[in-house]
Structure 1
Amino acid sequence: MKKFGLFILGGIAAIVLLSHVGPMIGLAISLAILYFAFKKFMKTDSTVGKVIWAIIGVLALTASASNVPAILGLVAAYILYVVIKNWKKEKHQVVTESSDPFTNFEKQWAELNKH
């Protein structure tokens, strides 16, 4: 039943991620422009250059802030990552059945004597 739930959650996350690819690309482009404008703003010495790069940076910051659906896409990508990670996780259960009734007693006695 756990695998079915993971499958449904992963499917929903994949659909949300695919529907928000456009805003995520827009967010990446606007953040790249913002980074470039900040670097140029810090390097330039002229006042006019600083004003121009500041205006470009503010416009890029506004474009980045308007891409709120991209945040939903990022959350969906993270949920999909967690689902895939949990899907691949295997349960390691060691079941040792022995016909000797004293096997578990001896193991527990050895653990008690360690401490």
Structure 2
Amino acid sequence: MKKFLLFIVGLIALLVLLANLGPMVLLGVSVWLLYVIFKKFIKSDSVAGKIGWVFLGLIVVSIAFSNVFAVIGIAAAYILYVIYKGWKEDDEPVGPKPNGDPFDNFEKQWAEFNN
């Protein structure tokens, strides 16, 4: 039952991620553009150039803030990652090996303790 619920939550997270893929891409492009604008602002020597870069930066910041739905997509991607890790952990067997002695590890540790 646990794997079924993980599958359903993962499916919902995947759909949310796909629905917010566009805003995520635009947010990434906006952050990259802000980095480029900041570098150009630092290199600019004239006051008019700096004012132009600040104006352009404000426009790009407004575009970035309009894509706040990208945060929901990032959260969905994180949920998918956590579900993937949880799914892999559930596959490992719990307890002693089927063919091994359950006290095998105990005897090794006891021998190390005595030495």
TM over 0.5: yes
2:92 alignment partner in structure 1? 91
Alignment partners' CA distance in 1, 2:71 and 2:110: 53
Bigger mean CA deviation after superposition, 88-97 or 78-87: 88-97
Q: Distance in 2 between matches of 1:107 and 1:71?
A: 47
Matching residue of 2:43: 43
1:64-103 superposed matches below 5 A: 64-89=64-89, 90-93=91-94, 94-95=96-97
Gaps of 5+ in 2: none
Q: Between Structure 1 and Structure 2, how many residues are aligned?
A: 111
1:50-84 Cα shifts (integer Å, max 9, x gaps)? 11111111111121112111110010011111112
Q: Which runs of 4+ in 1 moved over 4 A?
A: 106-113
User: For the pair shown, which has the larger CA radius of gyration, 1 or 2?
Assistant: 1
Q: What's the secondary structure of 2:69's corresponding residue?
A: helix
Task: State the distance in 1 between where 2:87 and 2:35 align.
Answer: 37
**Percent identity among equivalent residues?**
42
